[in-house]
Amino acid sequence: MKSKAAIIGSGNIGTDLMIKIMRTSEKLEMSVMVGIDPNSDGLARAKRLGVAITHEGIDGLIQMPEWDAIDVVFDATSAKAHHYNYDKIKAFPSKKVVDLTPASLGPFLIPPVNMDQNLDVPNVNMVTCGGQATIPMVAAVSRVAKVHYGEIVASIASKSAGPGTRANIDEFTETTAAAIEQVGGATKGKAIIILNPAEPPLVMRDTVFTLSEMANRDAIRESIHNMVAEVQKYVPGYSLHQEVQFEEIPADKPVFIEGVGKVSGLKTSILLQVVGAGHYLPEYAGNLDIMTSAALATGERMMG
């Protein structure tokens, strides 16, 4: 018997997640789509697909007869809204919450890195689209050598960045940088996001730089390729755009990293691209696809 899911947030991310659950999930069943705009396309689409809807937010959801049977709630709103939503949901301890906003109330979760440690947590945070794409790579290097510094640059199509993404730019950089350290294993993390206005829109591209202790390059390369394969299990469009590149930073010519000091070692450069599955969003919106795919994988594992 499938577990019942509710999605709060009827925008692009919430709608794409709904379509993914309905088309692909063997463990979850869509129960309710929640929004705040009665005229939103997401709510109209959900209604056409036979999903119960409310435009009265979390308060409306809790009043619905379907609420008692809901097992997992996906929050695809905004960082600010998630604080309000979870304050209401936590009064119902049997409900699991998968947070797709940068609110980071719960622990950061990157499926191939730390899923098993967080399956019993009531509210997990999916970091950001850039975090989902890049932190597995930082973690892959960390499994071989101590990472002093990890920097990620996420470039996404401007058309794929809706109002929620744009409202959360500051939270994106702060949350992603924190997760690079806490989940990726870097002593110091930094995140940059670029909204690329190119036409036609380009797919998501991510660049990951790590500066680690000296280590066997083949071992790092193998760890990266293994991690790419793990991510591809739930995001088939995730791939290395170029082969991994290395550069030695000699001890007599160290680089200065704020908060760390002068550091030498091995610089690893990893170039990625993420092509969306095209379930609801266009293929160039890989940034949104990786978030919904990671959230779905997490919700399914939480349900056993």
Q: 29-53 burial by CB neighbour count: b if 16+ within 10 A, else e?
A: ebbbbbbbeeebebbbbbeeeebbb
- Which of the following is catalytic: 19, 110, 129, 161? 129
**24 part of the active site:** no
d(CA 170, CA 125) in angstroms, rounded, equals 16
Residues across the chain = 304
Q: How far apart are CA 123 and CA 157, in angstroms?
A: 29
User: Rounded to a whole number, what is the distance in angstroms from the first to the last CA of the chain?
Assistant: 12
Active site residues: 129
